[in-house]
Amino acid sequence: MGAVDLTTHPGHLARRLQQAHYLLWNTMVSEEITSPQFAVLNALVAEPGLDQRTVGDRVGLDRSTIAEVISRLGRRGLLDKVRDPQDGRRFLLRLTEDGRRAHRRLTVRTARMNQVFLAPLSAAEQDVFFDLIRRVSDAAEGLRNPGEPLAAKG
């Protein structure tokens, strides 16, 4: 009487999905570089010289979290941080040669892992999977800033 079936709760399922992914990442991709760290490397491969905050936007991490992730990557020599001469508030981020190498290596392994992870679904189902998750996430993200109509700004 009163207990609920958590398998119909999207939050619970989201947590389980992420745990499952964490497990596979650790065994198939890397034990040193985490998935969020890879996301940061990837963002800097696409757009070298971004500042911290923008990297955070790109990969979906807030200021505090991105600062820690970047600090860890910097400590391992995978990226460099230099003050922006044009704007003394920012740090500009750039991968080192080691960072680019790590990104290349992990890209291959990540692709393999994704195949294993998604193996239970047919190709068509995988597309649906992406679509549904994206729509739910985007909608919730949109509720964050209610007073921002996205098109009209003044």
> Which position among 53, 58, 94, 100 is part of the footprint of DNA (CB under 7 A)?
53
Nearest to DNA of 81, 100 (CB atom): 81
Residue 62 in the binding site for DNA (CB under 7 A): yes
Residue 88: contacted member of DNA, a second copy, none (CB under 5 to 8 Å, by partner type): DNA
Please give the residue ranges that form the binding site for a second copy (CB under 8 A). 2-4, 6-25, 27, 35-36, 39, 42-43, 45-46, 59-60, 100, 103-104, 107, 110, 114, 116-121, 125, 128-130, 132-141, 143-144
Q: Give which of 124, 67, 108 is closest to 91, Cα–Cα.
A: 67
**Any idea how long the chain is?**
154
Task: Kindly give the pairing relationship between strand 91-95 and strand 79-83.
Answer: antiparallel
Q: What's the CA gap between 25 and 18, in Å, rounded? A: 10
The residues facing 83 across adjacent strands are 91
State which of residues 43, 44, 69, 106 lies at the interface with DNA (CB under 7 A).
69
Among 2, 5, 88, 124, which residue interacts with DNA (rule: CB under 7 A)? 88
| Nearest to a second copy of 89, 150 (CB atom) | 150
Q: Which residues pair with 94 in a beta bridge?
A: 80
Look at residues 34, 66, 72 and name the one whose alpha carbon lies nearest to residue 50.
Answer: 66
DSSP-derived 3-state class of residue 62: coil
Q: Is residue 28 a contact point for DNA (CB under 7 A)?
A: no
From residue 90 to residue 129, the character string flagging contacts with DNA as x (rule: CB under 7 A) and all else as - is xx--------------------------------------
DSSP annotation of 95 = E
Instruction: Please state, in angstroms and as integers, the Cα–Cα distance from residue 104 to each residue in 95, 113, 147, following that order.
Output: 12, 15, 40
Enumerate binding residues for DNA (CB under 7 A): 15, 19, 22-23, 26, 34, 36-37, 51-54, 60-65, 67-72, 87-91
